[in-house]
Structure formats: structure tokens, C-alpha cells
Chain A
Amino acid sequence: MTTTDTPLLRVRDLTVSFPTAQGPVDVVKSLDFDLPRGGALGIVGESGSGKSMTSLAIMGLLPKGATRTGSVEFAGTELTQLRERAMRSVRGDRIAMIFQDPLSSLNPYYTVGAQIIEAYRAHRGGVTRRQARAVAIEAMERVHINDAARRVDHYPHQFSGGMRQRVMIAMTLSMEPELIIADEPTTALDVTVQAQILDLLAEIRADTGAGLILITHDLAVVSEVTDHIVVMREGDLVEQGPAERIFTDPQEPYTRMLLDAVPRIDDEIGTLRTTTTEEAR
């Protein structure tokens, strides 16, 4: 088996639990999935499915008090065994993450240029101010922000929602990560902007060969963007498989119910079959 067959990310038996007054609660239960090199994986689920926690668990960014067990193997390295310092060098450099709300995810006190270049400075070191600025401008241009040389000195609140999300993407780009994890990157954006951001992510993947994990509740989005899908519900992995198979031949009642429930823009009302909810529960 050659190294190119090794999946970029291999998750086995990943479990995340939180202590509560009633005892420990598992929000992610024994997850198993692979992401091939350069592939795009979609993790879909409704609220409370544990999809966001999964991404935080991979990155080692779980909130205080949470416990993580299982294996997360990234390009051959077992992330769960890494010490925090080693994990920090992976974060932002080899695995980058994009979050849902770009306004609150950017620090209002610093310019976007400063924030774009932060990861670069931290990981590469020994960068002059001029070099750093050039890197920031280049990153902004790659995400198609016009007038980047001037806007690199602007503050987050001076950008619109879609532009801010591009800034977030620019932040990840400066480091050329091997894996990008995007947690609901377009949920807070208008649909036309959403389309642009998704196109941008596709473009970047094509350019850099980076893998993508896209976390969302929107099945229509994953059908367009990803090749492999994991369906989660209340911490459990309900079903996984190639995108086409999931959409054409779902095996689990829950998956079928979800697919029935998605409103279609070009299809009639009758397909909103929700009676199968009872079957699925």
C-alpha cells in the first residue's frame, strides 16, 4: 500500500463526553470515518447531532471539562497522543479551521492584515513586517478581496459578512494547510454570498489539493460540494458513504427522513413526507 492510499484523516471510535449533574453525557459516540487525500467530506446533522463537537475534537479544541477518547490519525500522526505544544504546531499550519460567524470570530481590535498574518508569524517566525504585509495582501487577493493593499489595514467591522468570511479563509490560506475544516461556514451568509464562498473553497482545493471537512445542516450544500458524507444524529453516526449513494440509496430511516424533509426548489410539495419521522424515532 503506497502512502498516497493512506487517508488524510482517519477517525476511529471517537467519543466526546461532558460531565453533567446526571453523570457523563456522550455528545459524540464512537465515530469512525476516513477522509482520503484531497477529498471532501461532509458531516451533516441537525442541532445537537454533535457535528461541531466532532470538528473541535479533531482539533483538540474541546471546551474545558470535555473528555475525548478514540483515535484521530492525521497523515499518519496520532493526534490524540500529541502533547499540547506539538498539537499547536499542527493547528493553523497543517489543519486550519473556519467557523460559522465571521464577525465574532475576528478580533475587533486588530486589523484584518494583522490577524491574517498571526498564524504565519507564529508558525514560521523571523518574518519582517514588510514580508508579513506582503503575505497578508497576497492571501487577501487569492480570496478575491478587491483593493487588498489598502484594505489590509482595515478592521473587521468595516467589511461585510461575506468579505469577512473571505478574510477567515485568507487566514487559513497563508499557511497552506493540508486539511481545512469548515464549521457551518456559510450558514450566516446570504445565499448569493454562500455560493461565492463555496466556489472559493472549491477553487482553493483545486489549487492546493487540500482536504476539506464541511460541517453543515444543509443537505443541498453537501450534495454540491462533497464526495463523501457522514450523517450524524445525537452523537451517533447514522450512516456514511459516497455522496451519490447517500442521496440515491439511503439505508437508514433517519437519512431517508432527512432527505424527504429537505425542501426542494424545483420540486413539488408532495415530497415533504414527514410521516416517516415516527419510523425514524
Chain B
Amino acid sequence: MIRFLVNRLLGMVVVLFLVCLFTFLIFFVLSPDPAVQICGKNCTPEAIDQIHANLGLDRPFWTQFGTFLSGLFVGRTYGTGANMIDCAAPCLGYSFQTSQSVTDMIVQRLPVSATVAIGAAVLWLLAGVAGGLISAVREGKFADRFIAGLTLTGMSIPNYVLALSLQFLLVVTLQWLPFPHAVSFMEEPGQWFANFLMPWIVLAIGAAAVYTRLTRANVIETLQENYVRTARAKGLSPGLIWRRHALRPALTPIVTIFGMDFAGLLGGALITETVFGLNGIGKLAADSITKNDQPVIMGVTLLAAFLVVVGNMVVDLLYTAIDPRVRVGSTA
């Protein structure tokens, strides 16, 4: 068991390293020269060279990568002398456009993204599992087909269409919800809640649709299993059969998939945050793409990749805890 864990962790470290490398490589190859941006209008070749030297852009690729990596652990400095900029660990880069370290920018916006992710996740998990269970129990009947229609719609509508339509409908036309504006939870909880409600719904609808179908399929398949037949032959009550023999095997895979989806969402829901004007990581990514702020784009990409990899690993480990077949050894 210990060996298994160690293997997994080592694997994770290797993958994370490769993720860093490739992300860095992509941006290294693709980015335009930041020196031009920094320099401004009246630029001279000497100024450009100076900036290159300051930022270490004249060094070979591996050196730059090495500096970047070490920056992640111990921080780094940009430039020399009076203009030196200190980037504390973990340093994901420095945005010269906004004069902030990327890490700081991300950390500021993390609470918003986390709120969006958690709220949506709770919603979609409840809706998805409930919908899936109802569909499975009423397989073939009206409820099943109706829900199938809903899921199809939910999966087909593009995120932004849904977001804009919902906003238009609920805020402008029906005026059920107030127009979103940034408040802290402490000051105006009601408004705060209203701010997040629509993004939660928008994000949840697509995912709930997928989870409904997944749950439905899992439950139907589990009900066919031979061990459910054995449970019936033992004369167990339907409730007991459901809880112990049908739900647990059916829902376990869903919990693990959920872990991965959630981790991915933490990296920022780009479109949704932008449409609803929420200052989260997704919006940060969208804005910096528009402004072409390379360090930020790279930092956000790296974060998202990290979250997915870690989420994956956590889910794998979770599975060993939940499924005895993976956990323990062979035949005795």
C-alpha cells in the first residue's frame, strides 16, 4: 500500500514537472517580445537590450526555465538595481502591464472562483444524482423521457447563450433578481447570494445534464448485477437493497468523476465569470488574453493544469479507499 502511494506521488511530481515544462515552452515559443511592450513608444534598441538583460530574456531556454522553476519554490527577482522587482514564492510570473505578481493576482481572485465552483458543484451534484435516480427508477416511463429531454437541452445550449439569456430573463425582464454588483458577503448577504445564483445555475445546468445521464446509466447497470439478484433472493427489503447494493456501487464512480470536474472548475470558469462580471480567475484569464498580458496567461494556464493533475491524483487515491478490489491484494 505504501509503495502504491509513493508510486502515485512520484508519478504526480513527474507529470507536474512536464506540465511546467511544456507550458513554459509553449509560451516561450509563442510569445511576442515583452520588451517592446514594456519599453513603450519611444524605444531604442539599447533600451530593448537593457530590458532583455534585466529580465533575463537573453539567456538560453533551459536557464530561463530553471529560473522560472526556482522561482516557484523560492521566489525570484526581475531586473537589477533600483528597478529591481521582488516576486515572492511561489512566483508564477510578473505582469508588467499591471505591475503585480501573477501569484498575487490569482490569490486575490481565488475566493470568487472558489465560490462559483463550490456552489455550482453542490447544485449539479444534487440535481444530477436526483435526476439520474428518478430516471433509473422510472426507466422508460414519462419521467425518464422528460428528464432525458431536459438533459439533452442542457447539454446542447452553449454556456454563454444560457448565461446571457438567463441574465436577460431574470434580471431585466422579470426583475426577479437585482442587477449584479460586487459586494462582500458580510455587508449584504442577500445581494451576494443573488450575484452568484445565476452563475451557479448556468454552470450547473450543463454538468447536471451529464451527471444525470451518468447516474442513470450506472444505476440501471447496477440493478442488473448478479449481486442484486442475490440480495433479493435473501429476502432483503427493497430499501436495504437500494442503499447497500444498488446505490453504493452505482454512485462511487460518480463521486470520483466529480472530484476531477470540480478541480477543473476551480481553475476558473472563463465564460461564465466574464458574462456575469465576477472577478474570478476565469475573468482574469479572459481579460489578460484580450490585453495580451503573457505572464498572467501563462500563470493561469499553469494553475489550471496543476489543479487538473492534482485533482486526478486525489481521485485515484480516493478510489483505492472506496473500492476494495483496488485497495487490497489478490486471491487468498
A interface, CB within 8 angstroms of B: 59, 61, 87-93, 96-97, 99, 101, 104-110, 118-119, 122-123, 151, 154-155, 157-160, 168, 171
Cβ contact of B323, chosen from A88, A93, A109, A159, cutoff 8 A: A109
> How many Å lie between the Cα of A101 and that of B229 in the bound state?
12
- A110-B244, A158-B328 known; A119 vs B227 contact (CB < 8 Å): no
> How many Å lie between the Cα of A168 and that of B231 in the bound state?
11
Contact B236 A155 (CB under 8 A): no
Contacts of B324 in A (CB 8 A): 108-109, 155, 157
Contact A119 B226 (CB under 8 A): no
Cβ contact of B237, chosen from A88, A151, A154, A158, cutoff 8 A: A88
- A118-B234, A119-B236, A155-B325 known; A107 vs B249 contact (CB < 8 Å): yes
Contact B332 A105 (CB under 8 A): no
Contact B236 A122 (CB under 8 A): yes
Contact B229 A61 (CB under 8 A): yes
Contact B230 A99 (CB under 8 A): yes
A-B contact pairs, 17 of them (CB 8 A): A61-B229, A88-B236, A89-B235, A92-B233, A97-B233, A105-B230, A106-B227, A107-B245, A108-B249, A108-B323, A109-B324, A118-B234, A151-B332, A155-B328, A159-B331, A168-B230, A171-B230
Contact B331 A119 (CB under 8 A): no
B191-230 CB contacts (< 8 Å) to partner A: 225-227, 229-230
Cβ contact of B227, chosen from A92, A96, A107, A123, cutoff 8 A: A107
Report if B248 contacts A (CB, 8 A). yes
Please give me the residue from chain B that is nearest to A64 by CB atom. Answer: B139
Contacts of A160 in B (CB 8 A): 331-332
> How many Å lie between the Cα of A105 and that of B230 in the bound state?
6
Contact A158 B235 (CB under 8 A): no
Distance between B330 CB and nearest chain A CB, rounded to angstroms: 7
Contacts of B138 in A (CB 8 A): none
Report if B40 contacts A (CB, 8 A). no
Contacts of B245 in A (CB 8 A): 107
> How many Å lie between the Cα of A157 and that of B324 in the bound state?
9
Distance between A147 CB and nearest chain B CB, rounded to angstroms: 9
Contact A93 B332 (CB under 8 A): no
Contact B234 A119 (CB under 8 A): yes
